[in-house]
Amino acid sequence: MGNDTGRSARMTGYLPGGRKGWVWMGAARRQQEQPSAGRDDAKAPGATGEGRVARKRAQRIRVVERTAARMFAEKGYDGTNFEEIAAQVDLRGPTLYHYFSSKEDLFSQCVEHSFAQVVTRLEEIAGSEGAAEERLRRLFFEQVLIELRDFPDFVPLFLKVYVPVPSLRRRLAAIRRQHGDVFRHVVNEVVMAHGLDPEAAKISLMMAFGSLAYMPEWYDRRGPLRLEELAADVADTLMAPFLGR
């Protein structure tokens, strides 16, 4: 924009070919005005190209994050380095610095991007219409899909991987609290609606969290149940204490 403005100002006094004088101002202005639509049209492909570049970059980042999450889970935080991650996605180690400033930054982005998607899904269910017990059941159902289908590579980052960086440990603790709060708020509604013992409900929820966290250890996608059927069975089982069963 700034270069176009400067060029337009110069052309009021100077025309292509070095001719100078006010007599040419009208022609110069017409030359500036006539191709303006063409210039705007010419910018569109460039803008589209920039959009494609941005999308490719975002896709590459997602691939790197998923690969890094899997390697963090397999090798631990200290046992994972940029060179190994880069090799898994056909990049040179230093190239990753174009996307992430450090291993700490990469781990942080893995956590933040996956959690943002997860908590949005859960909060939509928690805030939807319907009886509290039905929303709680849907939360349990959705959590199974999140862990076993949609984010299996990322779940260990929140539950299993030891991170020696204090700031990351604090952030992970805050994320776990925020995730748990989505469930706790709905459990409180169930308690109020059905007159349940709050302490018993709290224990039941903690037991549910433990059961859900352990699912990736025993789940086998080759089993007889479809994942949605398994999620429904798990949700029903976890709901039993909240329904007086």
pLDDT in tens, 135-187: 999 999 999 999 999 999 999 999 999 999 999 999 999 999 999 999 999 99
CA distance 89 to 210: 33
For residues 38 and 216, which has the higher predicted lDDT (pLDDT)? 216
Mean pLDDT over 4-31 rounds to 40
Computed on alpha carbons and rounded to an integer, the radius of gyration of the chain in Å comes to: 28
Average pLDDT, the chain: 85
What is each CA distance from 123 to 140, 157, 178, 215, in whole angstroms? 12, 21, 10, 22
Model confidence pTM above 0.95: no
Could you give the domains of the chain? 108-240 (1.10.357.10)
Confidence class for position 47, pLDDT limits 50, 70, 90 = low
